[in-house]
Structure 1
Amino acid sequence: MKSENMTVPDAAQTCDKSHVLCRGDDKASLPRDARLPINRCNLPAVVLGSLSYQKYPIPLLLDGVAELHRDLFDRLNATPPEALGAVFADYLTVHFRLERPEEMGLRAGFGGDRKNRAKANYIRMIRGWSFDSDSREGAVLKGWVESRFGLPPRYHGQALRDFSGEAYRRYLEMRSHGLYGTGALEAQFDLVYAFCQLQLALGYPPQNPPQTHLTLYRGVNRMSDHEVLSKGEGGRHIILLNNLNSFSRSRERAGEFGDYIMTADIPLTKIFFHCGLLPGVLKGEDEYLVIGGVVEVTLSTL
């Protein structure tokens, strides 16, 4: 494998292009209440969450990940493609002491709940999301997106519009309970995202010819359940997605989850995880976890 394939782009170079992504009309902009003023990556939320970004994506770089985990990327450089997943999983197991939680500060005698929480790693969180995206695991993942990309969740069990309201407080409680007593879960997610981006850059899943987007599908029953910013001809809608969403690469599988199919060209940079990234973590539905923002979609019947 050529080392340049694993090189993380320079954040300064990507930020120079951010002014290009800010152009567009109000319908393409990320609403003010759907973004935070600060985040932990190289582009502000108002840019990465915009419709312009969907059309003209550039790399999203999480602060400090490449620098703090250079050893991981060096190892991946020297690894054949078929073994990348095993090397990545081994690195996370050792770095975060996933099989030896006592080395991360867990002490005996604190009760079963503390011991069980020590087992709450990135794999269990992603599996928990696949069963119920409004679960405690879902709250943790949505909280990570909020922290890293500056995109607050728009829905968790119910609509989240008032940051001082009961629904948002419930989400924060679930998020904090999900993080309590775990081994740096959000730092684990940082590496999952970085690894996913490296795999996509290497052409997995296959893209022939190489592309910047994947066409993904989502089954829906009612567009009224989504924040529609504008409507166009031919079933085209501009909508505001939740900050993390499940899509499928299979139109047929997506159709099992709703009477209508929502089709979107998703930037590779917005894909946090997919079912083929680490075999055995997710099964079925050909599921993709997609970071949200404003997107143009086409709605059609089955």
Structure 2
Amino acid sequence: MDELNPSPPVSEDPEHWYCTNMVGVPVGLIGSTAFNRCLRRITIHGTRETHPGLFRLLAACEYPATASEVFEHYMELEFGLAPGAHEPTQARYPTSYLDLLRGWGVESDCPKAAVLKGWVESRFGLVPTFHKQRLGLFPSSAWATYLQEKTDVRFHNNCIFQQFDLLYEYCQWSIRRFKTPGPRFVRLWRGTNDVEQQLVEGDARQRLCTVRLNNLVSFSDSKERAEEFGDWVLETEVPTVKLLFFPGLLQRQVLGYEGEFLVIGGNYKVRAYHGWF
């Protein structure tokens, strides 16, 4: 260790918090650019085994729209999400994956979005790098805010992580069954204003570089649309195993605009574009 620039204790560096996860791939690998090219399929342990009936029903679906109806109906029954399913005397409505997705669509730094980032952290072992502000080393006021919001009891009253486990597994099933938007990679774009803070390797002004993205991020399937969200636009090929949501996966409108993908983050090799070159 360099005596002039000592490395922080492991407990202070969130990137070293996890060595295991629920997908059976080392955390360091799943967050790497090497994983993005290895074409390895992953699954959240125990999810399909716990819900075999859902995947038997899906196996009989010939079209994406039919599969979406089956999945959404199953979620309503399994988690009591159907309109009128709750008791009038309940103080709180059951938390729904749809509500949290809509919350993300409005603001990716809101408490509902923190729960989603917490789900990625729990299942994939990837800690967030940003929530309202850069998180950096632990402890800090930024980390305190994130930890408080990701555990907000308002959103943990209905097995919310298990709901997103099923959404992820359904997403991956749909990609393999219908070959959309994949089957292996999808080219996407992301607008940003702080590319310099995300750099891991290279120079954005030289086009090709490696960036560290938040553990859950939004991408667009349109470069022009991505330009609306930042001075820089990052173009990359996202492996479909890192998709949690893509347009058309569900019949209901849940995100803020058409063409939005929810992507598991980590390091990505990107081609960077700036408005003035």
Deviation at 1:243, TM superposition (A): 0.2
Q: Secondary structure at the match of 1:47?
A: helix
Residue 166 of structure 1: aligned partner: 141
* C-alpha distance 180-219 of structure 1, shift in aligned 2 (>3 A): closer
What is the distance in 1 between the residues matched to 2:14 and 2:145?
A: 18
Give the alignment's Cα RMSD to 1 decimal.
2.0
Match of 2:15 in 1: 34
Q: Paired residue for 2:265, among 287, 292, 297?
A: 292
Report matched runs for 1:100-111 at 5 Å.
100-101=85-86, 108=89
Alignment correspondent of 1:205? 180
- Partner of 2:137, secondary structure, is coil
Tell me, yes or no, if structure 1 residue 275 matches structure 2 residue 247: yes
Residue 193 of structure 1 aligns to a residue whose secondary structure is helix
Gapped regions of structure 2 (runs ≥ 5): 1-12
Quote the offset at 1:182 in angstroms.
2.2
CA distance 1:179–1:205, change in 2 (3 Å) = farther
User: Are 1:245 and 2:220 matched, yes or no?
Assistant: no
User: Whole-Å Cα distance in 2 between the matches of residues 168 and 181 of structure 1?
Assistant: 19
Residue range with higher mean Cα deviation, 152-161 or 133-142: 152-161
2:201 aligned partner: 230
Q: Deviations over 1:263-288 (max 9, x none)?
A: 01100000111232113222524100
Would the aligned equivalents of 1:129 and 1:137 in 2 still touch at CA under 8 Å? yes
| 2:139 is the alignment partner of 1:156 | no
Query: Secondary structure in 2 aligned to 1:83?
Result: helix
User: What secondary structure, in the 3-state scheme, does the structure 1 residue paired with 2:133 have?
Assistant: coil
Partner Cα separation in structure 1 for residue 155 and residue 116 of structure 2 = 14
1:239: Cα distance to partner?
1.1
Per-residue CA deviations over 1:216-275 (Å, capped at 9, x if unaligned) read: 000123312x42111058411111110000000111111111222100110000011123
Aligned length: 257
CA distance, structure 2, for counterparts of residue 149 and residue 267 of structure 1: 15
**TM-score normalised by length of structure 1:** 0.80
Kept after mapping to 2: 8 A contact 1:216/1:248 = yes
- Give the match's secondary structure for 2:235: strand
Please say if 1:265 is aligned against 2:246: no
Judge conservation of contact 1:254–1:285 (CA < 8 Å) in 2: no
Instruction: List alignment gaps of at least 5 residues for structure 1.
Output: 1-31
How far 1:179 sits from its partner (Å)? Answer: 5.2
The residue number in structure 2 matching 1:137 is 112
Identity score, percent: 34
Alignment partners' CA distance in 1, 2:187 and 2:34:
17
1:204 offset after TM fit, Å?
A: 4.8
Asked whether the equivalents of residues 253 and 285 of structure 1 are also in contact (C-alpha less than 8 Å), the reply is no
Aligned residues of 2:171 and 2:244 also touching (Cα < 8 A): yes
Secondary structure in 1 matching 2:130 = coil
Could you say if the C-alpha distance between residues 47 and 125 of structure 1 is closer, same or farther in structure 2, counting changes exceeding 3 Å?
same
Q: Deviations over 1:15-36 (max 9, x none)?
A: xxxxxxxxxxxxxxxxx74251
For 1:58, the equivalent position in structure 2 comes to 40
Q: The residue matched to 2:43 in structure 1 has which SS?
A: coil
Q: CA deviation at 1:89?
A: 0.4
* 2:74 is equivalent to residue 91 of structure 1: yes
* Gap change, CA 1:180 and 1:33, over 3 Å in 2: closer
Q: Which secondary structure does the structure 1 equivalent of 2:55 belong to?
A: helix
Change (3 A) 1:151 1:179: farther
Equivalent residue number for residue 7 of structure 2:
none
